[in-house]
Amino acid sequence: MESAADTSPATAPSPSDAPQSPKVAEIRDLILAKLRYAVGKNVASASKHDWFIATALSVRDKVVDSWFSSIVRAKASGVKRVYYLSLEFLIGRLLIDALTNMQLIDETRAALAELGVDLDDLREVEPDAALGNGGLGRLAACFMESMATLSIAAYGYGIRYDHGLFRQRIKDGKQLEYPEDWLSLGDPWEFQRPEIVYGVGFGGHIEAQASPDGEPKQVWMPAETVQAIAYDTPIAGWRGAHINTLRLWAARAPDPLRLDMFNSGDHVGALMDRVRAESISKVLYPGDTSPAGQELRLRQEYFFASASIQDLVRRHLSLFGDIRTLADKASIQLNDTHPAIGVAELMHVLVDRHDVPWDEAWTITRNTFSYTNHTLLPEALETWPAPLMERLLPRHMQIIYLINAIHLDRMAKSGGGVAEKLAALSLIDEAHGRRVRMGHLAFLGSHKVNGVSALHSELMKTTVFHDLDAADPGKIVNKTNGVTFRRWLKEANPALTSLLMEVVGDGLLDDATALKKIEPLADDASFQERYAAVKRANKVALARLVQERVGVKLNPDALFDVQIKRIHEYKRQILNILETVAIYEEIRTQPYRDWIPRVKIFAGKAAASYATAKLVIQLANDVGRVVNSDPTVRGLLKCVFLPNYNVSLAERIIPAADLSEQISTAGMEASGTGNMKLALNGALTIGTLDGANVEILEHVGPDNIFIFGLAADEVAARRAQSISGQEAIARSQRLSDALEAIGSGVFSPEQPDRYRSLVDALTYHDFFLVTADFDSYYAKQRDVFRRWRDKKGWRRSTIINTANMGWFSSDRTIGEYAVEIWNVPTTAPGRA
């Protein structure tokens, strides 16, 4: 980086002759002032990163003005607050987002141009805030934006990880994980609040002390205290009318070092406590295969839940004075079970610190909390070993046991007293060595529990929450996910947005259902042409990026067939790879056929400890290497794996996609949100009847989506019969050839048995029913080809998809949470 030593004044290059709007001049001067006085650079020495910081700080000033007004308004009206607790916020970049929502993008672009700086270059230097893993974290980010847009007085609470989701590199086809370093050059959006700090206790013991009413009072004496320090990031809603706070906690030791140890010469030992404390906010998803890793993860969960609850209780008391009105003035949404320990923490605060009687405390707690479930996968439903929790959080375990005792007693008396039933209802899972079921705790401690698509919410009632639902009917409701159109339409695809706005008008981003107005143009030749031209330009841009990043040249007129998401067996990337292999074989054996040029694009990360998923990444890369370099393929098929999938890469791929792969085993994808982003941007979906695909089908109609495969009930029935793939493989020559090619080393000649384990699993233990769905998937892909050949038909379907995606705006989702779960008022977008 250039040095700041050059102290000549920061002056603008001579202004252009063109008349300037005062706003542009004002922004230019503000950026220059930030560059000089906040960054400490002048024009001559400023790097792109310096310009980015100066520009971010200039828009942040505008955000802050509106932020203060929002806070004052909420205070004056005494409105109920919403607290969104999430271990993940997958925010991505904020510069274009903030400029868009503050309606400053054109002026800032012009101001920077006067200074000889290109806004698009600055966009690229901002690191992604990758404080999340996948859909759950991105949903939290979309929700933060929509809550601000609807002027809900909301706070997001999470952890300020030093290192977000790992950076993925691909070497020799394999995933390698490197630490991600988003904070290395500072974060211009955040405000450190060193004065907002809470102690979070761990370990120790409980003392029963006498209290005036004769009941012994339980007093927790933690052995260790870690400090949680607040960092606030303002989140601007659409048109900047309302701004909310994302408050992330960093962990610090109460003492920076043990001075006695340091002075006695043990310089490393003197820092041990600090290292131990700070490890809590060091990385997102520390590996949890070791006991130490598991303990760290539980410490993360309690750390952020406790700090957040202490903070919101303090706010409530300072605003309203009476802890007993908490549920009227605060709604706490648990984003998955990760913050579920917050239920026990609030009970601890109410009962132990504020002397609220148990029953009343429980009513307040239940009325305050609600819980969103994001998965039915048994292995993803969190449980913690009871001994670990007893050691780390003794008072909370006592509270959990008491909640459980009262709950089971009630269940036994109300007729559910059969032993197996009580075992299923219990907060403690006795079958796997006494573990605390965090989903049960979240369920019991909430007044509403929701799934994230219609199908998922129904399956919650018939599977994992069956008994709890029967005991508390009506508690489970559905809130189908949504995505923010400001980011996923306007910022990601400005050209399409402009075209749509010509028809729909400026209100498109205020009311996404207005998109419906383009439907009558689905057959309009000129509109089709213009839409297709936008798509092609986006594909050219993506092809450039692919060439830069992986050195593969793509034909922008080929069908871009895209699967971008976490790599997981249930998402079945392998099904897509099998079809790629099958077509590869056919292009070679039947070269004369009228093939459609197609590019398979994969991107996604596999959890570092998930060996099978990592092998799938390697297979995609190996298949790509062979197919892309085979001259007999003549460029008719390409297969690329783009490394380091993140929000910013998604913003580049989605606008360029033609086909969206949503091919999970039915019943296993809770909702999906990539499916919504892709359909909105004019990709047609090939998918199973899973998650929100079902609702996308309902909105776009069966002619404009490619549905295949077993439905959720058929999956359950098939699994009950057998999960062997042998029969399906025997029935399908194509499938058996593709498996044979993969298993015998056609794509890994240097190690022919590399994929033997994958092929064996599909053959003998195909839990995700890849083989059962293969033929139907293959046939559906041929329907895709047929539609692609019918250019007008394809374009028509594309337009109909975009036209009908308005319902999938996260503004709609948040509006439903506000009315049916939180009971808070909303305001039309853009009005405070």
* Footprint on this chain of ligand F58 (rule: CB under 6 A): 133-136, 139, 374-375, 380, 452, 481, 669-673, 691
Min dist. Cβ of residue 389 to ligand F58 (A): 18
What type of residue is 229? I
Min dist. Cβ of residue 319 to ligand F58 (A): 31
Using DSSP's 3-state secondary structure scheme, residue 337 falls into: coil
What type of residue is 175? Q
Min dist. Cβ of residue 135 to ligand F58 (A): 3
Under a CB-based contact definition with an 8 Å cutoff, are residues 230 and 304 in contact?
no
Cβ closest to ligand F58, residue 375 vs residue 528: 375
Cβ closest to ligand F58, residue 583 vs residue 670: 670
Distance of CA 712 to the CA centre of its chain: 24
Detail the DSSP E strand segments found in 554-636. Answer: 559-564, 598-603
Q: Which two tokens stand for residue 281?
A: 């906010």
Distance CA 83, CA 132 (A): 18
**Please, which residues have CB within 8 angstroms of residue 71's CB and are 6 or more apart in sequence?**
none
Q: Which residues are catalytic?
A: 374, 565-566, 571, 673, 677
Q: Backbone phi, then psi, for 223, in 5-degree steps?
A: -85, -20
Distance CA 117, CA 25 (A): 15
Give me the residue label for tokens 């297709």: 532
Min dist. Cβ of residue 373 to ligand F58 (A): 9
If you count them, how many residues does the chain have? 832
Min dist. Cβ of residue 718 to ligand F58 (A): 21
Min dist. Cβ of residue 670 to ligand F58 (A): 4
Cβ closest to ligand F58, residue 135 vs residue 394: 135
Cβ closest to ligand F58, residue 281 vs residue 481: 481
Min dist. Cβ of residue 165 to ligand F58 (A): 10
Under a CB-based contact definition with an 8 Å cutoff, are residues 783 and 292 in contact?
no
What type of residue is 540? V
Cβ closest to ligand F58, residue 365 vs residue 481: 481
Cβ closest to ligand F58, residue 87 vs residue 508: 87
Q: Which two tokens stand for residue 772?
A: 């059962």
Distance CA 213, CA 752 (A): 76
Q: How many other C-beta atoms are found inside a 10 Å radius of the C-beta of residue 37?
A: 11
Give me the residue label for tokens 């009630």: 410
Under a CB-based contact definition with an 8 Å cutoff, are residues 735 and 774 in contact?
yes
Cβ closest to ligand F58, residue 376 vs residue 522: 376
Q: Which two tokens stand for residue 111?
A: 């101001």
Q: Sign of torsion, CA 639 644 646 652?
A: negative
| DSSP one-letter string for 683-716 | PEEEE-S-TTHHHHHHHH-GGGSEE-S--HHHHH
Query: SS3 helix, strand, coil % of the chain, rounded to 5?
Result: 55, 15, 30
Cβ closest to ligand F58, residue 45 vs residue 673: 673
Cβ closest to ligand F58, residue 127 vs residue 604: 604
Using DSSP's 3-state secondary structure scheme, residue 811 falls into: helix
Using Cβ positions, the residue closest to ligand F58 within the complex turns out to be 135
SS (H, E, C) 305-340: HHHHHHHHHHHHHHHHCCHHHHHHHEEEEEECCCCC
Min dist. Cβ of residue 286 to ligand F58 (A): 12
User: Which of these, 294, 277, 298, 282, lies nearest to 159 by C-alpha position?
Assistant: 282
Min dist. Cβ of residue 360 to ligand F58 (A): 33
Distance CA 224, CA 752 (A): 53
Cβ closest to ligand F58, residue 53 vs residue 284: 284
Q: Please report, for residues 91, 175, 473, 745, 748, the alpha-carbon distance to residue 751 in angstroms, rounded to integers and kept in the order given.
A: 40, 17, 55, 7, 5
Cβ closest to ligand F58, residue 438 vs residue 761: 438
Distance CA 391, CA 346 (A): 19
Cβ closest to ligand F58, residue 284 vs residue 710: 284
Min dist. Cβ of residue 171 to ligand F58 (A): 25
Under a CB-based contact definition with an 8 Å cutoff, are residues 370 and 818 in contact?
no
Using DSSP's 3-state secondary structure scheme, residue 256 falls into: coil
Under a CB-based contact definition with an 8 Å cutoff, are residues 622 and 170 in contact?
no
SS (H, E, C) 400-411: HHHHHHHHHHHH
Under a CB-based contact definition with an 8 Å cutoff, are residues 85 and 45 in contact?
no
Q: Which two tokens stand for residue 86?
A: 């999430």
Q: Please report, for residues 119, 351, 531, 534, the alpha-carbon distance to residue 537 in angstroms, rounded to integers and kept in the order given.
A: 20, 61, 10, 5
Under a CB-based contact definition with an 8 Å cutoff, are residues 307 and 228 in contact?
yes
Rg of the chain in Å (alpha carbons): 28
Strand order in the sheet with 428-429: 383-385, 435-437, 428-429
Cβ closest to ligand F58, residue 146 vs residue 218: 146
Min dist. Cβ of residue 694 to ligand F58 (A): 12
Min dist. Cβ of residue 592 to ligand F58 (A): 42
Min dist. Cβ of residue 817 to ligand F58 (A): 13
Under a CB-based contact definition with an 8 Å cutoff, are residues 140 and 86 in contact?
yes
